[in-house]
Structure 1
Amino acid sequence: MNLYKGILKITTVFVVIFLLASCDEDFSTIGGEIIENPAGVQLREYDVNAYTVDLKSVQTNVAFSSGQSVQNLKLLGVYNHPVFGQKTANVLSQVRLGTTSPEFPEGAVLDSVILNLPYFSTEVVEDGETEYELDSIYGSGGFRLSIRESRYFLNNLDPSEDFERAQKYYSDQQSLFEQFLTDDNIYVNENFVPSPNRIRFIGENDEGEADTTYTAPALRVNLNKDYFQQKIMDKEGSAELSSMSNFYDYFRGLMFKAEPRGNTGNMILFDFSRSDAGIKLYYSYEDETENDEGETIAEKAIDSLGIRFGANIVNTFEGEYPAELQENIGSNSENLYLEGGEGMIGVIELFNDGDLEDLKSENLIVNEANLEFYINKDLMNGATTPKRLYLYDINNNSVLVDYGDLNSRSNDPLNARTIFSSLPETNESTGETKYTLRITQHVINLIENGTTNVRLGVVITSNIEQLANVSVRESTPELSGDNNLEMVPASSTITPEGVVFYGSNASNEDTRLKLRVYYTATDL
């Protein structure tokens, strides 16, 4: 029979490709009359058990692998989501000296200290003019931004694990870090709003002529010069600047703190690991040189010392969900809530034991199996919808077998893995928008290969190609059984977007979350 199934799968798959688009109208659900069709492909719909889990504490000091490079992505700002309420994201970062034991020329004067954090942006040239469109910025209002020194030591290795494992820091530790902040601000802006304007530099070219150059938009501001004079320049020749380990202990970090201004705000995704991200101390001094006549003259020279952000950077989140939303956490309710950041995930439990055993006993060939998530637009309050969803195995903290479909891969991150996880699709006649997650091979393995029917987690993702997981320290509710919620995809923690889907108890059966299984029956 297995050989027969294998042959039949090959012969039916070509027909299925052309006919699946009309299957929704051709077949009824279980318990109804099954309408015959030329391909013999039939449809069954199964209810699933789905509920929302609130992530109270999730690890955030992780970096992301991106090809040959590493990105240290963190959110900063205040975001007012129409559904999930107001959330604040702060950043605590290590800092490292660009050069240990720096030496400054005699008489050097610190002129300015500049922080540079580039935005994600796209260059657009119109009519010969270069402009930029900012990306990964959520909201359009302002927030209070301040930067202060932190005296909390961020360990790279966990002392409770005999320094054999990386130290984990979590999204709910802001109150702990606050206790170690110095009193004075290094920088403060009462109403910070990111600007799409490019950065202009006025200098000289190689011929000594005045020259203007530009770089992409960035959070580029002046920091407190007196602070860095005392912290760095006055420490020339000291033990504190003599090695990186000494410097980490001396200058333990910077806290980027966001505070709301009423109901406005914006939240920005930064990559703190970029080569042009960091702080520069610009200083000037008199440099003696010889002119063409052999005379010694003094000219003003300018140089700089760089301070980069360290590898250990923590995102913290603060905010409360509206009361009506909290009532849906953990329940098998009419709606399923997903949010990034510290956020919310959905837990999906496929099949009851009876349905799965019935499928195993029948002679069926599964052609396709989908989970379909319909957006509840009435509850979205005009919020933008996320670009992608990601489904994973909660029990084993791993990808599903369907994720690896070769046809899902793409050089374009937005369109990658669309066979596994579709882009949002809107029905022009009904106006309903849905996401389709295909789990065909996963269902086949449950039926034919005796694979364990694990819990599945569904999250919003900002990059479906990113597979790193981060630890969950606390969630509500805690999952029962031996397989607790231990990990979530790291890519879900770097977006503040949220979405509301019709859940497994939705009153409208057409939009209710369900598993749709297309199959071919055999007589063997």
Structure 2
Amino acid sequence: MNLYRGILKITTVFVVIFLLASCDDDFSNIGGEIIENPSGVQLREYDINAYTVDIKSIQTNTSNPKLLGVYNHPVFGEKLASVLSQVRLGATSPEFPEGAVLDSVVLNLPYFSTEDLDDDGNPVYQLDSVYGDGGFRLSIRESRYFLNDLDPSEDFERAQRYYSDQQPLFEQFLTQDSIYVNNYFVPSADRIRFIRENDEDEADTTYSAPALRVQLSRDYFQQKIMDMEGSAELSSVSNFYDYFRGLLIKAEPVANEGSMMLFNFAGENAGINLYYSYPEETTNDEGETVEETFIDSLGISFGANIVNTFEGEYSQQIQENIANTSENLYLDGGEGTIGVLELFDEQQLEDLRAENLLINEANLELYINSDLMNGANAPNRLYLYDLSNNSVLIDYSLDPSNNQNDPLNSRTMFSSLPETDEETGETKYTLRLTQQLIDLIENDSTSLRLGVAVTSNIQQTAGVSVRESTPELGEDELASAASTITPEGVVVYGSESSNENRRLKLRVYYTATGQ
């Protein structure tokens, strides 16, 4: 197999791309036949087995950001996303000054946003990772469901997993009264204004980036925190977790409207602040004893266990495509769906190895079925991974366009941005698996089973457990965690599409060695 290893010695990936681009117009393919061209590079297309898997229950208590809100997708229908989270005191055994009065309790969840300047030089913001522009009902209630860090069924040796379909269970443990309700919440790109008194007793105005910033029930936190000063419940992290087990931040639909947004609950400015004032005697400039009012705060952050829950049902059309090798693949985020692609049978692999070909390029082209998209925006990226081994493809690791600071323009050789043909208007994604195919041939593997999912961040490659799916995945097969942080979806032509030119196939460019 030294011939296959020789591919690694090709001058650069860019030379290969230039070569393919220069001769691509010379290719034609009918029924899988090999047509030669002047450069010596040939093309072969392989039919693959591809089908949609409906992920009905997926692990969501990972370190990823969480979705919150209601999103009406033109293809995949209405999706609801809520969040159950532990909460943690900023300081155990807090002490409040004598005469302290709780003035307000504020929840702050910054949006992902970018800053620019208007014509007058004032900061303006553009919200990122916000889908839709309508309102939804937002409520917050205390949860008495205890979120374990470790799984008791595994002798506390493995981290506890919580899943996207567990909201009905969690809601059995909610307190009766809400600590916040907004019957029509709409995200805003307005910056947050703060007015504070400076050392000269003058009002200072400062601003921060846009956030979901709301006032919670003062009476609730007075009883829950302030009145518990000196208690065992506030004396340690573990005691507090057992005493104040969490909050459910719930989204519910209002008519056919909605919006959904992504939040980093572990972010620096995410959490709850209890603002309290208290009197204290001080000495003024004339040496007189006077009473002044001071303001302080106690922070409550979100804990380590944060669970995203999802609700929603797919249409009959989508359900009929699930588990079938059909004309289309339905790829959806959130709880979502993924595509499973099975490459080669045993005989095809044996034939390929026997031919001793030099593989120049191998890719999958996934064409968007615009007739079924109903005007929906397609996601910026698709993520292809080794489903059998729950790992990234070799081509992902070797992609030189890796840019940690710019995920949108990172790994673009491995997973292209949507490319639209100006003449036909058709849009496709290109996913490369050149080195993965070479490795498959060299190492005598029997098959290659891939997963493909939508993603909003190609840098996130972690897999998460699937508890239930249709059809069932393998016992150790994982779904992509990145697909749970976007509600976007796309319909692409499948492996049995009646449109031969847009059918999903494995395209292999190679050079015959003559041996």
Q: TM-score normalised to the size of structure 1?
A: 0.94
CA contact (8 A) 2:440 2:448 kept: no
Once residues 5 and 437 of structure 2 are traced to their aligned partners in structure 1, the CA distance between those partners, rounded to angstroms, is 15
Q: Would the aligned equivalents of 1:284 and 1:300 in 2 still touch at CA under 8 Å? A: yes
Cα distance in structure 2, aligned partners of 1:419 and 1:395: 23
Which region of structure 1 is more displaced relative to structure 2, 265-274 or 437-446?
A: 437-446
In structure 2, what is the equivalent of residue 25 of structure 1? 25
Offset, 1:257: 0.5
- In the TM superposition, what whole-angstrom CA distance separates every residue of 1:368-408 from its partner, at most 9, and x where no partner exists? 00011000000000111101111111111111111111413
2:499 is aligned, of 508, 511, 516, to 508
- The counterpart of 2:357, out of the listed 345, 349, 364, is 364
Aligned partner letter, 1:27:
F
Q: What amino acid does structure 2 have at the position aligned with 1:513?
A: L
Aligned residue among 306, 318, 322 for 1:325: 318
Aligned to 1:522: 513
After superposition, what is the alpha-carbon deviation per residue over 1:413-470, rounded to whole angstroms, capped at 9, x for unaligned?
Answer: 1111111111110000011100011000111122233134231000111211112211
Say whether 1:119 aligns with 2:111: yes
Fraction of identical pairs, as percent? 75
Distance of 2:4 and 2:242 partners within structure 1: 68
Give the superposition deviation at 1:33: 6.5
**Distance (whole Å) between structure 2 residues aligned to residue 10 and residue 394 of structure 1:** 29
Q: Which amino acid aligns with 1:496?
A: P
Q: Partners in 2 of 1:30 and 1:356 — Cα distance?
A: 21
Name the SS for the 1:152 alignment partner: coil
Distance 2:397 2:354 in 1: 28
Q: Equivalent residues in 2 for 1:174-323 (5 A)?
A: 174-323=167-316
Counting only pairs closer than 5 Å after superposition, residues 145-164 of structure 1 correspond to structure 2 as 145-164=138-157
Q: 1:16 to 1:507 in 2, by over 3 A?
A: same
Q: Deviations over 1:468-495 (max 9, x none)?
A: 211111100114xxx4463112111111
Equivalence for 1:85: 77
Q: Any gaps of 5 or more consecutive residues in structure 2?
A: none
| Residue 140 of structure 1 pairs with residue 133 of structure 2 | yes
Residues 94 and 310, structure 1, Cα contact 8 Å, conserved in 2: yes
User: CA 1:353–1:200 in 2, change beyond 3 Å: closer, same or farther?
Assistant: same
Distance 2:46 2:6 in 1: 25
The partner residue of 1:419 within 413, 421, 439 is: 413
The code of the aligned residue for 2:278 comes to: Y
Equivalent-residue separation in structure 2 for 1:287 and 1:13 (angstroms): 71
CA contact (8 A) 2:23 2:37 kept: no
Is 1:410 the counterpart of 2:403? The answer is: yes
Q: Which segments of 5 or more consecutive residues in structure 1 lack a partner in the other structure?
A: 65-72
User: 153-162 or 5-14: which moved more?
Assistant: 5-14
Assess if the C-alpha contact under 8 Å between 1:5 and 1:365 holds in 2: no
Alignment coverage as a number of residue pairs:
513
Q: Find out whether 1:94 has 2:86 as its counterpart.
A: yes
**How big is the shift at 1:327?**
0.5
User: Counterpart of 1:78 in structure 2: which amino acid?
Assistant: V
What is the CA RMSD across the aligned residues, in angstroms?
1.8
CA distance in 2, matches of 1:12, 1:33: 29
1:386 to 379, 395, 398: 379
* CA contact 2:3–2:358 (8 Å) conserved in 1: no
Report the counterpart of residue 158 of structure 2 in structure 1. 165
Q: Return the alpha-carbon distance in structure 2 between the equivalents of residues 403 and 13 of structure 1.
A: 13
Q: Is the 8 A contact 1:9 1:365 kept in 2?
A: no
Q: Give the stretch that moved more between structures: 373-382 or 392-401.
A: 392-401
- 1:38 to 2:38 alignment: yes
Query: Match of 2:312, as an amino acid?
Result: G
1:38 Cα shift? 3.0
